[in-house]
Structure 1
Amino acid sequence: MWRRSLAVKVFMSFVIVIIVSFSIVSISMYVTSSRELDLLHEEMLTQIVDNALHHTDLYIKSYERATLSLLTSSQVKQFLDAEQNQYFTYYSLSAQIKDELFKPIFINNPEISMIYLISYNGMTFHDFNIDHPPFSESVLKDSLEDLREQTKDDGSLSLIDWSFLDGQLALARKISGRQTSKLFKGIVGIELRIEELTTLWKGIRLGDRGYFFIVNDRGKIVYDPNKEKIGKQLEGRLFEQVRDHEGAFFIDEEAGEEGLQRIYFSRRSDYSGWTLVSSMPLEAVRKPVQTIRQTTLAASAISIVVALLLAYRFGRSIISPIRMIEQGMRRTEKGDWTKVPLRGKKDEMDRLIHSYNIMVSRLSELVERVYESELKNQDNLFKRQLAEFQALQLQINPHFLYNTLETVICYAVVQESEEIKDIVRAMSLMLRYSVQTDLEEITVANELKHVLHYMTIMNYRFEQPFELQVDIPPEYLLKKMVRLTLQPLVENAFKHAFPDGIEDYHYIRIYAEAEGQRLKITVADNGQGMPEEELLKLRMKLSVNEAQRSKERQLREQLSAEEQVEVGQAGEHGGIGLINVHNRIQMVFGAQYGLSVESAPGQGTAVTLTMPDTDAVGFAGMAGRHLKIEDRSVNQYNELFSDSFMMNL
């Protein structure tokens, strides 16, 4: 009985609402339809003109890039500075500019028909990309003052009202000796076929009798669907209306060629100076209003009948979702967070069900906040460790960079040679590899590649090849390790192992071995080695394991009081390269990994990196052969390495 009475009340309420609402809609439709459709047509015309204007400006601006090579060319700078009587300079520079600058522009922009260059000193040069009638250089000189007036003082590309070639669109800009200078020394201009621009506008559709045209500031028609009008002057009365109503709609009271009144909308481009105009017959704009008015009454009557039938069904169907919500609330009271499924009708009942589901979700979220708080604390801890890792990784030794740059400068002053190219290329690759500060574990192969670039530079600095022995099996080359950990060890060997210079018997050897679940990579040299006191200081910094620390404490007890103070301050001086490598390995793989050092005076030093034995993801397999490179130049090893493996620098 309750459900039946509720359905009747809903039905009667719905009947009243339908009748009243449709009556109001029918009456108001006659008043508002005309205004709304007028606004719709105005928005459509505005959007069409604005889009066409935007794409036209972008298309013209794109040709600024075509002239950038001229702005930065040293030949163009010399051409602008040359005097009229310097004929040899003129012909040599003209040939270079034509081959090195104009020809690539013509290839990349085949729509460009002509490029010309005019200096304020009276020098001119031009080239064509099409068959052309005879053309005199004096025409360019005579047009210099006119071009200076029509081009913008900020050096950007400007549209010219006239062109040297028929049927062409002329663009020009002032040019200086330097790209950033505002002291202009000449004019560079291009001319392109106007047909290239018409492709932007042919797709605009404004109905059967609507059209779109473009005029410049002087009333000359730049584009019209009727090709016979292009290049002619727009009718004076209409041009005045277009100019006076820029950015607004207006109706031409006089009938046009078709005997119809038309509505126009115009918009002027500040960049090109063109005015884009769209036009439609006023009759075509008003006709949809009449059609809507005629169909409103019929549609309203049919809609009322259909609405009454739907209201009856609505009264019956509304009870079902209410019961579903009631059952859901009972389950919620028992702690069951089950949501009520939506019916998919997007009405008030669905919104009510949606609100109930939101309430259930929020209640369940309160239970999960404790777990989210714990996860948030762990995330903050990870971010702090990431910041510490990146700070350590950015500690690049500047002395090596300074020495390398000095070497490059020396070679550049003495002679032009391939050595400079090799040094700069290796330096660029090293810097690109070094400045990456993410936590990505890279491969042993990547680190070896970085060492090879470093050795390229070092060989030029030593002015003799140095023997770098690499004895690493191929199956180890795809093992994981931390970025920038191998090259600092090689650099450390050069700095401390050979203080009296590099001799023929000196070597640095890199080899790897696996012990259980650990991978060890060692960099050994046959240099002067380290005294026991210095080795103790370094091991105290590294603190590799408990056994070593115990031995170091015993050695420290044998030192004098002054020496113990010096050891205590060891963490404040020197060793930042090894400490940096050691800390970053521990940050990535854990405190049980890192560096260990073995050394003896006169017998050399061996520094070992200990890491987990894991393979990198995303690298292809490699040939199953043992890679041992000895008595090879670094360039030879670099070529072999590049051919054998896919690097991911």
Structure 2
Amino acid sequence: MLYLIRKIFSLLDNVRLKKKLFISYIVVAFVPIVIVGVYLTEQFRNHVLEQATEQSYNNVERIKTQLEDVVQRPIDISGVLMSDTDLSKITNTQFASTYEVVEAYQNYRSFRDYINLYSEIYNIRFYMDNPTLLNNWEFIQITKDISTSAWYNYTDQSGLIYWGYIPDETKKNESFVSLVRKVEFPLYRSKGVLVMNINPAALQNIVRQETFDTYIIDSSNIIVAAKNQQFVGKQLSELDFSVGRSDWEIGQYEIEVDGHPSRIIVEELKPQYSQNGFKIMSIFTIDSIVEGAERISVQGLLIILASLLLSMVLIYATSSLLSKRILSLVKNIHKLGTGDLTVTSTIAGNDEVGLLSRQFNNMVSSIRELMDRVRDTENQRNQLELRQGEIKLKMMASQINPHFLFNALESIRMHAHIKGDKELASIVRMLGKLIRKNLEVGSGSVKIADEVEVIRYYLAIQQFRFGQERLDFELHVDEAALETKLPPLLIQPIVENAVVHGMDQVLEEGKVTIKISLEEDKLQVVIADNGTGMDEARMQQVIEMMNQQDEVEGTRIGLRNVHQRLISIFGDEAGLHIASKPGEGTTVSFSVHMGGQTDV
């Protein structure tokens, strides 16, 4: 390994400086940046895809909750009707005349009242084997067709609620998602079957506004609700992605839909007291999700490549200029070596090459002076020989030391890579860390210590921009709060707002103060500035903007984002509080209850 390294350096010794700079740039900058750019692009694509998958899961869970609320209504009503004495009496009475039946029907209003009262209920009917009853679309005799139907037998066998997509003979045999439940009358030793249709509009309202294609399917794989209503009533197997397949279990699947890679999220709902239930499916194509991310990534890569090419041109121009100056100096040295004492280096500048050029001219001037002295004393041979010897010695002493030349040229090469400005280097280092930490944010939590570090970098950079006489800052953080975790980017946007809007009119002695304290389980964050402040009207505009639910355009969307996230995560009491007076500055604060936890 050591031999290989020596071999590489030995080969580089024979490469011109311009090529060395190019090779160094390609190895140290170009290739790593391209690799990192491609890697980050792929990571960005995967992150967007995972976010879409997570959103799909959340959508399915929300649909499941809404569907559960819808079907719970008929379950509750059926429970009440099972103990309804009026229903028991009317279905088991042996009526003597049609008049008595009609009168009993008119007096019994429970079915109609439930339909009028609850929008989820579309129709209610009761099937009973009582020859004296009349079919009035609410009470229906059990016929042979009904007694042999699948939904009737499912209920009769298990006694549990059965959910199915059942034709309703009272609605021109139109099919509805229906609750079917056996109702027993122990006093009469009889039984009947209660059927309650769910309002199709209630089901469609659940999936109509969904971002992705969403389906609600019953246990017979019939689509009972869909974002695209034309699929309602069809078998799931009729859809392209489900041809020949009916065993969709709970989970996540990757398939092709119309030739496009897609993901399917499947969840299941089994309502209370039920023998079967529903499946919820959400489908999205991967291309539609990552299209925007890939477009942004390509644009980013193009910008990176353009920047790299521009830097390559600059390096080429710089190295060409440097090589040209060095070769000019070498050419003059060669002329001097052939005995041309009239040579003069015209290289200007205060860098190392310029310094060498001036030293070279001084050396040539010294040699010329010595030679002039030799000519003046050539009539005195002994003295001439002595003088010539002295001239040779002085020439040897005045010649440029080869090690000095090599070290100077090496310094020039290093100078092309490193220009030592410590203050600027420190600021650039902070900026690099600030950018890196902001890219690493996810949907997880970060420590207060890490957030404070980012804020410190940000304020130091702003202080470098404005100057210490215009911007100063203080950070007061309880030791106990440093390990506490919060969702990312809750504090930094407030600090940025204080600097950008609070300090914009302040020309000197501007100050931003950040205080973070933890008392018991309450974390309090206060950001104050002594900037221009706001009057009451402007402050109310800002507060109203933060409380708007819809997206708005403006200069303080960072505050609105933080405010909405705090309320969403910690509740209404956790939002931002603003206090401001014109000419005195602005204070923005929030406090959250950690509930005994330091990781949220």
Which bin holds the TM-score, normalised by the shorter protein?
0.3 to 0.5
| Structure-2-length-normalised TM-score | 0.41
| Structure-1-length-normalised TM-score | 0.38
Q: Highest Rg: 1 or 2?
A: 2
